[in-house]
């Protein structure tokens, strides 16, 4: 009979093995159901026997919603980048340089994919993951171990044998196409900004504070570089195969080559075949295989001489321009859009591409009827990159930016300090008015269900809603609305209920919903939290506003201008009268004291109960001073998990008191 401890350990080992089968080898041995049952059983046992906890248990892969700031870590060896080549000729030149560098010695080359994600460095000690660090600036990065642990294809404990007691392995964190598409579809539904490519999405996800959300997004990882003092082999290829046997996912198609002909074939093959891979790649990497030869070749300041990237050409199509349209957004900014003869590019049909602003049109020197190059490199959004001048019809006129609003005819004005033009007729230009109504009701603003783009236009065209505040008197038009084709009582009631419910939406959302130039979601939150209510915000001057973190003069000016306008003040008053929330909830008043008066405090590590920012505020509210580095003058250190080793050592040598968060909170009388 197993003891409980043995059962727990056996379950952990089995679950680790099934994770590897499923996520790395793609060949599960058991059903998802059986796997879940095993995991549940382990969870139950661990809960009953907390004394057998292990931070690397597979039950900890689900992440947590604890808010943590990232601690930094200095890389033992800097994380460099790779030199790029764009043609076979440039690759040949690299091979020739390597041969010369090695004094004519023969050498072999390993070819592998260049994965397009965000790089990661993992450290293992005695076969256990101890740390995951982002590239950062190459010298030091963020410790993101909790987030990385949620990636099921990364082994927390190694399999097999023969690994060095301590080693580092580097690789790429990726968001596979499928997970990327799902994430963006979700974001579109929630009206959140879309990620331009899987690389940005992977990097953004890895730095999220909430590891439960990271777990949900479905990151993956591939490894390509083993570092350490006692590696099992004297060459890259065999070391990577060893890493594969320890449970890592290694470049699926590494190839060992000795002639330039083989390298050419390898490039030609993957230029096409990469499109079938489940994740994005932006090229290939070629590496000198032998580690002694790598050492001999060494490094330039930025990259190794023993490796080089070959970048695939972005997919490009040439298609005629039908016409350039000029579209007016809710802020009045006019965006030129190239309407194209539809063309197939990387699997989707492209019909339109933004030309962004007047400067870009001028730079591309686009003429009527030109044939335009469209590219979709790693990006999802197609981009116009050039014009086929030879195909231009003689006498074709250059495309000129409009001087008047294409909708209301008002003379356009240049946005100060920017390349864009805008229609200043804010109160009379229909797309601006409808755009502001549509924005106001959006999910991340007032979240009013039942009103979208078409309904905003309909409500405006019937004269019922000319600004967001009119929504709250829409009920007066109930009978008229019912007369419109396609407007049943259910539709109308749902809309009116949505409007009623929006009165409970928080003040920070209301500030965002107003459509103040340069005030996006994050800025709106900052304004709402600092100014606390609409009267303070409306009456704040530029100086008061710029005193808020991250609010610069441009935003401050725009806020002041917005509230200086009587029409906007009137909208605010009508919203207030309708019962829309115009202030933040009161903060608990007993949270300030002089307990820390005169005390200097250093914060280090990651915390479970509050974020680093919150602790900073708490220290200041209680009369203390928060500083960055430990010295003789430090009164105590508020230490979380994974406190930086340098700080810890210094604190110990100076005899500075170290408090954990519970001790700190009870000192402030806030213990739970
Ligand atoms: S080797 C010392 N191999 O590309 C250089 N890097 O441009 C070690 N990358 O920061 C890097 N796939 O994030 C290497 N198969 C591969 C790679 C790869 C993607 C990334 C990596 C690196 C960047 C350099």
Residue 416 backbone class (left: φ over 0; alpha: ψ -120 to 50; beta: rest) = beta
CA of 184 to the centre of ligand 1 (A): 26
Cβ of residue 223 lying under 6 Å from some atom of ligand 1:
no
Cβ of residue 208 lying under 6 Å from some atom of ligand 1:
no
* Residue of 114, 287, 376, 426 marked catalytic: 114
Nearest residue by C-alpha to atom 10 in ligand 1:
81
Which atom from ligand 1 is nearest to the alpha carbon of 119?
13
pLDDT score, position 26: 72
pLDDT score, position 197: 85
pLDDT score, position 491: 92
From 452, 398, 459, select the one nearest 430 (Cα to Cα): 459
From 74, 183, 209, select the one nearest 136 (Cα to Cα): 74
Please state at what angle helix 32-48 crosses helix 4-23, rounded to 10 degrees: 150
Told to judge if 503 belongs to the known catalytic residues of this protein, a careful annotator would answer no
Cβ of residue 80 lying under 6 Å from some atom of ligand 1:
yes
Which atom from ligand 1 is nearest to the alpha carbon of 114?
12
pTM over 0.85: no
Task: Note the residue count of the chain.
Answer: 672
CA of 256 to the centre of ligand 1 (A): 18
Cβ of residue 307 lying under 6 Å from some atom of ligand 1:
yes
Distance between CA 613 and CA 619 in Å, rounded?
10
What torsion, rounded to 10 degrees, do the Cα atoms 620, 622, 625, 629 define?
Answer: -90
Distance between CA 284 and CA 271 in Å, rounded?
9
Cβ of residue 509 lying under 6 Å from some atom of ligand 1:
no
* Pairing state between β 657-659 and 636-639: parallel
pLDDT score, position 306: 97
Nearest residue by C-alpha to atom 23 in ligand 1:
81
CA of 62 to the centre of ligand 1 (A): 28
Decide: 421 and 327 in contact? Cβ < 8 Å: no
Cβ of residue 119 lying under 6 Å from some atom of ligand 1:
yes
Q: Give per-residue pLDDT as tens, 315-370.
A: 889 999 999 999 999 999 999 999 999 998 877 789 999 999 999 999 999 999 99
Nearest residue by C-alpha to atom 9 in ligand 1:
114
CA 17 to chain CA centroid, Å, is 31
Distance between CA 645 and CA 106 in Å, rounded?
44
Token pair for residue 40? 């549940």
Which atom from ligand 1 is nearest to the alpha carbon of 225?
1
Neighbour-count burial of 603, counting CB atoms closer than 10 A to its CB (0-12 exposed, 13-18 middle, 19+ buried): buried
What are residue 519's phi and psi, to 5 degrees? Answer: -100, 95
pLDDT score, position 67: 43
pLDDT score, position 401: 95
* Pairing state between β 220-227 and 166-174: antiparallel
Place of tokens 């450290």: 123
Query: Mutate which of 116, 119, 287, 378 to test ligand 1's pocket (most atoms within 8 Å of Cβ)?
Result: 119
Decide: 618 and 654 in contact? Cβ < 8 Å: no
Residue 373 backbone class (left: φ over 0; alpha: ψ -120 to 50; beta: rest) = beta
Token pair for residue 280? 């994005």
- The low-confidence residues of the chain, meaning pLDDT below 70, are 1, 63-69, 377-379, 587-591, 671-672
Count how many Cα atoms sit within 13 Å of the Cα of residue 473 in the half-sphere of its side chain. 12
Cβ of residue 224 lying under 6 Å from some atom of ligand 1:
yes
DSSP characters for 564-612?
A: HSHHHHHHHHHHHHHT---BPPPPPGGG--STTTT-EEEEESB-SSS-H
In this structure, is the dihedral angle defined by the CA atoms of residues 116, 121, 126 and 130, taken in order, positive or negative? negative
Give the long-range contacts of residues 186-191, CB within 8 A, separation 24 or more: 190/443, 190/444, 191/442, 191/443, 191/444
Cβ of residue 82 lying under 6 Å from some atom of ligand 1:
yes
């Amino acid at each position: 009979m197993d003891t409980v401890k043995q059962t727990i350990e056996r379950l952990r080992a089995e679950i680790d093995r099934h994770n590897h089968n499923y996520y790395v080898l793609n060949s599960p041995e058991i059903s998802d159901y059986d796997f879940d049952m095993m995991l549940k059983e382990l969870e139950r046992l661990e809960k009953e026997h907390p004394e057998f906890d292990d931070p690397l248990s597979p039950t900890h892969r689900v992440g947590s919603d604890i808010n943590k700031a990232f601690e930094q870590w200095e890389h033992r060896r800097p994380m460099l980048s790779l030199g790029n080549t764009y043609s076979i000729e440039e690759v040949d030149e690299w091979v020739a340089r390597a041969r010369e560098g090695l004094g004519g010695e023969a050498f072999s080359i390993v070819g592998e994919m260049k994965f397009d994600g965000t790089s990661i460095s993992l450290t293992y000690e005695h076969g256990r993951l101890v740390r995951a660090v982002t590239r950062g600036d190459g010298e030091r990065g963020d410790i993101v171990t909790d987030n990385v642990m949620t990636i099921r294809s990364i082994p927390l404990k190694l399999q097999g044998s023969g690994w060095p007691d301590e080693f580092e392995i580097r690789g790429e964190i990726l968001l596979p196409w499928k997970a990327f598409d799902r994430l963006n579809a979700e974001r579109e539904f929630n009206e959140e900004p879309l990620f331009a490519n899987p690389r940005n999405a992977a990097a953004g996800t890895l730095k999220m504070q909430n590891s439960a959300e990271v777990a949900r997004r479905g990151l993956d990882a591939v490894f390509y570089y083993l570092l350490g003092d006692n590696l099992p082999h004297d060459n890259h290829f065999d070391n990577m195969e060893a890493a594969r046997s320890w449970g890592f996912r290694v470049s699926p198609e590494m190839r060992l080559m000795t002639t330039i002909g083989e390298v050419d074939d390898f490039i030609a093959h993957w230029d096409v075949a990469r499109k079938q891979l489940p994740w994005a790649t932006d090229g290939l990497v070629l590496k000198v295989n032998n580690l002694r030869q790598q050492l001999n070749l060494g490094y330039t300041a930025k990259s190794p001489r023993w490796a080089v990237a070959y970048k695939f050409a972005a997919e490009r199509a040439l298609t005629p321009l039908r016409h350039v349209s000029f579209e007016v957004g809710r802020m009045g900014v006019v965006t030129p859009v190239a309407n194209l003869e539809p063309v197939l590019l990387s699997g989707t049909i492209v019909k339109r591409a933004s030309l962004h602003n007047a400067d870009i049109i001028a730079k591309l020197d686009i003429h009527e009827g030109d044939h335009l190059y469209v590219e979709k490199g790693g990006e999802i959004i197609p981009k116009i990159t050039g014009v086929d001048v030879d195909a231009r019809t003689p006498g074709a006129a250059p495309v000129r930016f409009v001087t008047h609003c294409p909708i209301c005819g008002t003379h356009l004005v240049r946005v100060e300090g920017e390349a864009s033009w805008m229609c200043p007729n804010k109160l009379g230009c229909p797309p601006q008015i409808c755009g502001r109504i549509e924005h106001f009701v959006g999910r991340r603003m007032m979240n009013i269900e039942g009103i979208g783009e078409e309904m905003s236009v309909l409500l405006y065209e019937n004269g019922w809603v000319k600004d967001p505040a009119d929504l709250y008197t829409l009920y007066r038009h109930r009978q008229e609305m019912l007369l419109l084709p396609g407007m049943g009582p259910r539709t109308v009631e749902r809309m009116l209920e949505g409007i009623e419910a929006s009165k409970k939406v928080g003040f920070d959302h209301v500030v965002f919903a107003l459509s103040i130039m340069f005030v996006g979601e994050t800025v709106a939150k900052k304004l709402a939290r600092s100014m606390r209510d609409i009267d303070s915000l409306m009456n704040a001057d530029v100086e008061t506003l710029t005193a808020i973190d991250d609010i610069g003069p441009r935003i401050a000016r725009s806020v002041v201008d917005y509230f200086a306008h009587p029409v906007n003040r009137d909208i605010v008053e009508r919203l207030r009268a309708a019962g829309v929330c115009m202030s933040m909830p009161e903060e608990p008043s007993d949270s300030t004291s002089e307990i820390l008066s005169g005390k200097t405090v250093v914060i280090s590590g990651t915390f479970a109960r509050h974020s680093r920012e919150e602790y900073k505020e708490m220290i200041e509210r209680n009369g203390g001073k928060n500083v960055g580095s430990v010295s003789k003058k430090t009164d105590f250190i508020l230490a979380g998990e994974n406190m930086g080793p340098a700080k810890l050592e210094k604190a110990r040598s100076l005899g500075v008191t170290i408090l954990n968060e519970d001790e700190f909170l009870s000192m402030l009388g806030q213990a739970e």
